[in-house]
Amino acid sequence: MTPMAIGTGVNELALAVFAIVLAITLAITYWASKRTSTATEFWAAGRGITGLQNGFAMAGDYLSASTFLGFAGLIFLFGVDGWVGLAAAGASFLPVVLLLAERMRNAGRFTMADVLAFRLKERPARIAAALGTLAVSFVYLIAHMVGAGVLLQALAGIDFTLSVLLTGTFMMVYVVFGGMLATTWVQIIKAGLLMTAGIVLTVLVLAKTSFNPVELFDRAAGNHEDAKGYLGGGLQHPNSINAISFGLALLLGTAGLPHLLMRFFTVPDAKAARGSIGWAVALIGAFFIMTMIVGVGARAILGADAVEASAGGNLATPLLAEELGGGAGSVGGDLFLAIISAVAFATILAVVAGLVIAASGAVAHDVWTSVVRRGRAAEDEEVRVARVAALGLGVLAILASILAGPEFNVSILVGLAFAVAASANLPALLMALFWPRFNTTGAVTGVVGGLLISLAIIVMSPPVWPGPDGEGSPVALANPAIISIPAGFLCCWLGTVLSRERSAASSYHELHVRAETGIGAV
C-alpha cells in the first residue's frame, strides 16, 4: 500500500473485526427475538428500557456515519464551515428536551402519528403523519445505505452493490426478528464503541501537540492553502444563503426525526424519557466536540496530501486512525484502521435499523391497523404486518440505494432528510401539542405541504438535478430548509384558519392534560 491510500484489495483484518461485530449483534437479535411478540414489545421493547440505556440508544440512533466520517471530513476539508453545521445539530436537541420528550412519552404509544391522531380525525391525521415518517426515513435510509456501500468498498474492499446488500440484510434481520429490543441494544453497543473510538482518537490527536489545542489549530491552518477561509468560513458554501439553509435544516431537523422520537416510547414513563434525553444530549454534545478535534487533527496531522485519498472527506477519520496507529502497512496502523472501520460499519447498522423500525410503525400501526382495517386488526396481525413491512421497506431501500449508486454525496442527502423532517413533521407536531385551534385540515395541509415543497425544491436543486454539477437547475438552493420550514408552518396555519372544520379544541384539553401530567399514559 502506498501512503495515504485505502482500498486496494480486500482488507482481511477489517473483515475479521466486522465479523466479530456482526456476531455480537446476531447474538443480541437471537436473545431479543424470544422476547418480542406483542406490539409493545416489537415497537417499544416492552417499555422496559431505562433512561440511561435509552440515552445511549438515542445517541446510537442519532450519531451516524455522517457525523463520525462525514462531518469530520467536512471539518478536515473546510474547517469552520464544516463545524457550524455540526454545532447547530447539537443545539437542535433543545426543542426535543424542552417541548417534546416528556409530552411524546405521555401522549403517544408507538409512533409520531399517535400524538396527532389523539386530537384530530384519526384516519387523515395518521395517513399524513405516516407519509411524513416514511419520506424522512426513506431519504435518511438511502443516505446511510449509500454511505455503507461506499465505506465498505473503500475500507474492506467489498464491492459497492454487495456492501449495500449486506448492510440491508443485517438491518432487516435485526428488525424482523428482534424488533425494538434488538435495535436498542445494537444502538447501545454501537454508542459505546463510537464514544470509545472518539475518545481514543481525540486523546491521540491532542497528544501530537502535547495537549496544546491551540497549536493543533495552528498546524491545521498552516496545512490549508486558504488558512483564512479555514478559520473564518466561506469555503464549503461560497453562497451564504446555502450555508444558512443547510445550518437551519440541522438546527430544526432533529425534532422531526421519527426514528428518534420513537425511542421515547421504549421507556416506562415521562421521568425516564427526560432522563434519556438528558443523557443523549450529554453524549452527543461531547461526541460533536471530539469530532471537531478529530477533523482539525486530520488536517494538522495528515495535511493537504490526504485530501484526494479522503474521497470527499469521508475517509479522513479512517486515514487519521491509520496514521495514528503507526502509519500505512504497520501492524498498529492496520489494526486501528480495521477497528475504526468496524465502528463506522456498526454505526451505520444501528442507524438504519432504527429507521426501518420507525417506517414499519408508520406502515403497520398507522396505515394498516388504523386506516385499512379501521382499527379492527388484532395485535398479532399488526406485528405480522410490521415484520412484512420491515422486509419490504428494506428491499426497497436496498434497490434504491444501488440505483442511486456510490456517486451520491452522503452528507448532502442527510442534510436533505433533516430539511424534510423540519418542514413536514415538526410544524404539525408542535401545533398539535401547543395550539388549541389546530385541526385536521391544518395537519394534513401542513405535513403534505411541507413535504411537497421541500421535495419539489430538492428535485429542482443542484445536488439532484441531472447533468454535471446540476448545471441549469431551476433552483439554486442546495438545501430547501430556508424556504420549506417556514412554508411548512404556514401550511399548518393556513389549513387550519381557512377550513370550515370545527376546531379540535375539545380534544385538545384531554391531550393537553395527558401530555403535561402523564395521566392515562401507557
Partner 1 sequence: MADAAPRAVDWTAIERLPEFRELTEGRRRFAWVAGALGVGAGALYVVLAATAPDLMRTSLGGSFTLGFAGGVALILLTWAITLAYMRRSARVWAPLEARVRERARELGAPEPEREGRFAREGAPATRRAPEVQA
Q: For the segment 178-217, give every residue that binds partner 1 (CB under 8 A).
A: 213-215, 217
Exactly one of 251, 294, 316, 426 binds partner 1 (CB under 8 A); that residue is 251
Q: Please identify, using beta-carbon distances, which residue of 18 and 265 lies nearer to partner 1.
A: 265
The answer to whether 337 and 318 have CB atoms below 8 angstroms apart is: yes
The answer to whether 522 and 109 have CB atoms below 8 angstroms apart is: yes
Exactly one of 19, 94, 207, 459 binds partner 1 (CB under 8 A); that residue is 94
Residues listed for the chain: 522
How many residues touch partner 1 (CB under 8 A)? 87
Which residues touch 60 (CB under 8 Å, ≥6 apart)?
186, 187, 188, 189, 190, 191, 194, 347, 350, 351, 354
Q: Please identify, using beta-carbon distances, which residue of 39 and 398 lies nearer to partner 1.
A: 39
DSSP 3-state of 32: helix
The CA distances from residue 133 to 261, 269, 338, 342, 423, in Å, are: 11, 23, 35, 29, 12
Minimum distance from residue 133 beta carbon to partner 1 (Å): 16
Q: Please identify, using beta-carbon distances, which residue of 193 and 249 lies nearer to partner 1.
A: 249
Contact between 367 and partner 1 per CB under 8 A: no
In whole angstroms, what is the distance from residue 362 CA to residue 369 CA? 10
Exactly one of 24, 157, 463, 510 binds partner 1 (CB under 8 A); that residue is 510
Tell whether the torsion through CA atoms of 128, 133, 138 and 143 is positive or negative: positive
Contact between 253 and partner 1 per CB under 8 A: no
Contact between 384 and partner 1 per CB under 8 A: no
Within positions 273 to 292, which residues make up the interface with partner 1, using CB under 8 A? Answer: 274-275, 277-278, 281-282, 285, 288-289, 292
In whole angstroms, what is the distance from residue 425 CA to residue 370 CA? 19
Exactly one of 139, 221, 367, 397 binds partner 1 (CB under 8 A); that residue is 221
Contact between 98 and partner 1 per CB under 8 A: yes
In whole angstroms, what is the distance from residue 251 CA to residue 245 CA? 10
Exactly one of 1, 97, 200, 388 binds partner 1 (CB under 8 A); that residue is 97
Which residues touch 155 (CB under 8 Å, ≥6 apart)?
6, 7, 11, 14, 315, 318, 337, 341, 344, 345
261-264 LR contacts (CB < 8 Å, sep 24+): 261/96, 261/100, 261/104, 261/112, 262/43, 262/110, 262/111, 262/112, 262/354, 262/357, 262/358, 262/361, 263/54, 263/57, 263/58, 263/61, 263/184, 263/354, 264/54, 264/100, 264/101, 264/104, 264/105, 264/108
Locate 151 and state its grid cell: 465505506
Number of neighbouring beta carbons within 10 Å of residue 214: 8
Residue in the structure block whose three cell numbers are 447547530? 88
The answer to whether 337 and 12 have CB atoms below 8 angstroms apart is: no
In whole angstroms, what is the distance from residue 127 CA to residue 271 CA? 30
Number of neighbouring beta carbons within 10 Å of residue 520: 10
Q: Please identify, using beta-carbon distances, which residue of 131 and 255 lies nearer to partner 1.
A: 255
Minimum distance from residue 33 beta carbon to partner 1 (Å): 15
Contact between 304 and partner 1 per CB under 8 A: no
Residue range at the interface with partner 1 (CB under 8 A); choices 12-20, 89-97, 453-461, 469-477: 89-97
Minimum distance from residue 443 beta carbon to partner 1 (Å): 16
Within positions 129 to 188, which residues make up the interface with partner 1, using CB under 8 A? Answer: none
Contact between 122 and partner 1 per CB under 8 A: yes
Residue in the structure block whose three cell numbers are 475504526? 340
Minimum distance from residue 339 beta carbon to partner 1 (Å): 27
Q: Please identify, using beta-carbon distances, which residue of 122 and 323 lies nearer to partner 1.
A: 122
Within positions 45 to 74, which residues make up the interface with partner 1, using CB under 8 A? Answer: 46-48
Minimum distance from residue 410 beta carbon to partner 1 (Å): 21
Exactly one of 105, 190, 237, 259 binds partner 1 (CB under 8 A); that residue is 237
Number of neighbouring beta carbons within 10 Å of residue 237: 20
Contact between 117 and partner 1 per CB under 8 A: yes
Tell whether the torsion through CA atoms of 212, 214, 217 and 222 is positive or negative: negative
Minimum distance from residue 152 beta carbon to partner 1 (Å): 31
Contact between 501 and partner 1 per CB under 8 A: no
Exactly one of 73, 95, 313, 394 binds partner 1 (CB under 8 A); that residue is 95
Minimum distance from residue 19 beta carbon to partner 1 (Å): 33
Residue range at the interface with partner 1 (CB under 8 A); choices 4-12, 222-230, 301-309, 458-466: 222-230
Contact between 432 and partner 1 per CB under 8 A: no
Contact between 382 and partner 1 per CB under 8 A: yes
Contact between 227 and partner 1 per CB under 8 A: yes
Contact between 231 and partner 1 per CB under 8 A: yes
- Residue among 187, 164, 115, 119 at smallest CA distance from 357: 187
Residue range at the interface with partner 1 (CB under 8 A); choices 17-25, 86-94, 155-163, 386-394: 86-94
In whole angstroms, what is the distance from residue 482 CA to residue 492 CA? 17
Amino acid at 13: L
Contact between 467 and partner 1 per CB under 8 A: no
CA dihedral 20, 23, 28, 31 (to 10 degrees): -140
In the shown chain, the binding pattern of residues 5 to 44 toward partner 1, with x for contact by CB under 8 A and - for none, equals: ---------------------------------xxxx--x
Contact between 232 and partner 1 per CB under 8 A: yes
Residue range at the interface with partner 1 (CB under 8 A); choices 192-200, 394-402, 458-466, 507-515: 507-515
Contact between 500 and partner 1 per CB under 8 A: no
Q: Please identify, using beta-carbon distances, which residue of 83 and 138 lies nearer to partner 1.
A: 83
